[in-house]
Structure 1
Amino acid sequence: MLVPFLIMLREGLEAALIVGIIASYLRQTGRGAWMPAVWIGVFLAVALALSVGAGLQFASAEFPQRQQELFEALVGLIAVGVLTWMVFWMRRAAHSVRRSLTGALEDAFESGHRQTLALIGMVFLAVAREGLESVFFLLAVFQQSTDQAAPLGALLGILAALLVGLALYRGSLRLNLAHFFRLTGLFILLVAAGLLAGSVRALHEAGVWNHAQQVLFNLGDRLPLDSPLGAVFAGVLGYQPAPTVSEAVVYVGYLLATLLLFFRPARTARSAVPHTHAR
């Protein structure tokens, strides 16, 4: 429940921030009458994400066992790729999101008689990206988790994101977004490592990957998956009581590579500041 809650809180907050920035800009520039176009774009984006998620879920239910394992592995790999991209994209672009959005809005309003379509399209693309990312995250988490409360956690995460986004928009809540995205980014990298190891396991069960299948250790008697602590570790860290060599290698290798990049100082961003002032 914790993993889908935090993932949807982060994804939902990103979408809420985008919509909040657009709404604030329209209000500040005397264009509040264009808000219906914003909600149309949001509605279309949510409808697309729900349709894609439902379609993928129904399609996978019709697959034979081997194809289901392959589908689970594919969804997990896509989710890992998108999760990783999202974490590092937000790390680079967090400080320029508002400037990029307001620039795109001005371009939309300069498009003449197609202003409405341009505004709807811009909101749709921005929110649909977050929605489709969420679809792959949730599919991967649901497929690799036995937690029956996972859908409830995702729903609570969305509701919490909406409340936080509304409070930020109204100015009643002050949140250090840089710290928030940094902490949740670190958490998501841990989740992604577990998803990657789970995808390797699914490939083995599908008969595609049969290398390095020696079991490193077995903690099934001391920390079983059905115990409260085991369930928490499985959901957050991708814990498996009897990991194989291949699962351990991809888990540790992914974490080492991504954490080194994640904690690397953003030298480019700091060096760009004096250059900007020099102008």
Structure 2
Amino acid sequence: MLAPFLIMLREGLEAALIVGIIAGYLRQTGRGAWLPAVWIGIFLAVALSLFAGAALQLVSAGFPQKAQELFEAVIGFLAVGVLMGMVFWMRRAARSIKVHLHAGIDEALAEPGRGATWALIGMVFLATAREGLESVFFLLAIFQQSPDAMAPLGALLGVLLAAVAGWGIYAGMLRIDLRRFFRWTGVLVIFVAAGLLAGSVKALHEAGLWNGLQGIVYDLGRVLPETGPLGTVLSGLFGYRDAPTLGEVAVYLIFLAGALWLFLRPVSSSPAGARAPANKSLSDV
């Protein structure tokens, strides 16, 4: 439950931050009449995400057992790639996201006639559909690999809390140190990604495509079973396995060490002149 909650809270806040910046800029510049176009873009993005998730579920349901295991592995690998792209994109773009969105709005509304409406809808759609499609891959991978029956509820709670927080930020009633939030949730997301990667290696073995390094490193099934209350939490959040193979442990540790090192190392400093406005981009929404 905690892993989907964390990921959907983070994804939801990213989407809410983007929408809040766009809506706030339109309101501040006296262009509030364009807000319906923002909602249309959001609606289309949500519809696309739901359609993509349902289509993937329907397609995979007809696969034989080994093909389903392969599908689980592929979805897991894709989810890890998208997770890492999300984490590092926000780490890099946090300093300038507000400036870029404002420039994009001005450019979209400079289009003649109805072109401005479609340009704004397209801008909002692309910005929010990215978050929605990322969420589809995350949730599919987690639901397939996690034994936690409460995972869908965790995802729903994450989305709801993100929506409330996003509205609070937009309305000026809530102030969050978003840079710190995205940094530390990024660390937790890397642990989730490491667990998904190890689970995908296991799925490859069950699909008959990976048979190396299958020795059991340890067996804690009687002490801390993966399907128990604590084991379920550890499995969803940190990728815990009660009897992992050598290949799963090796992939988990190598990926975790490399990703944490890349993520936590200092960001290259930008020129002083560009740093001042960028420092306000995540908090001054």
Task: Report the TM range for the smaller structure's normalisation.
Answer: over 0.9
Question: What's the counterpart of residue 182 of structure 1?
Answer: 183
* Stretches of structure 2 lacking an aligned partner (at least 5 in a row): 277-285
How far apart, CA to CA, are the structure 2 residues paired with 1:273 and 1:53? 44
How far apart, CA to CA, are the structure 1 residues paired with 2:218 and 2:93? 41
How far apart, CA to CA, are the structure 2 residues paired with 1:271 and 1:91? 14
* Alignment length (residue pairs): 275
Question: What's the counterpart of residue 256 of structure 2?
Answer: 255
How far apart, CA to CA, are the structure 1 residues paired with 2:173 and 2:274? 35
Question: What's the counterpart of residue 7 of structure 1?
Answer: 7
Cα shift at 1:226: 2.3
Question: What's the counterpart of residue 73 of structure 2?
Answer: 73
Question: What's the counterpart of residue 129 of structure 1?
Answer: 130
Question: What's the counterpart of residue 145 of structure 1?
Answer: 146
> For residues 126-275 of structure 1, what are the structure 2 equivalents within 5 Å?
126-267=127-268, 270-273=269-272
How far apart, CA to CA, are the structure 2 residues paired with 1:276 and 1:3? 33
How far apart, CA to CA, are the structure 1 residues paired with 2:32 and 2:274? 36
Cα shift at 1:272: 2.3
State the Cα deviation string for residues 47-71 of structure 1 (Å, max 9, x = none).
0000000110111111100100000
Question: What's the counterpart of residue 55 of structure 2?
Answer: 55
Secondary structure of the corresponding residue to residue 271 of structure 2: helix
Secondary structure of the corresponding residue to residue 95 of structure 1: coil
Cα shift at 1:230: 1.2
How far apart, CA to CA, are the structure 2 residues paired with 1:244 and 1:116? 54
How far apart, CA to CA, are the structure 2 residues paired with 1:226 and 1:66? 23
Question: What's the counterpart of residue 35 of structure 2?
Answer: 35
TM-score (norm 1): 0.96
**Two-structure CA RMSD over aligned residues (Å):** 1.2
Cα shift at 1:168: 0.4
TM-score (norm 2): 0.94
How far apart, CA to CA, are the structure 2 residues paired with 1:109 and 1:153? 38
How far apart, CA to CA, are the structure 1 residues paired with 2:63 and 2:271? 52
Secondary structure of the corresponding residue to residue 147 of structure 2: coil
Contact between 2:146 and 2:232, CA under 8 Å: does it hold in 1? no
Which stretch has the larger CA shift, 66-75 or 104-113? Answer: 104-113
How far apart, CA to CA, are the structure 1 residues paired with 2:179 and 2:27? 25
**Structure with greater helix share of residues:** 1
- Identity, in percent, stands at 62
* Stretches of structure 1 lacking an aligned partner (at least 5 in a row): none
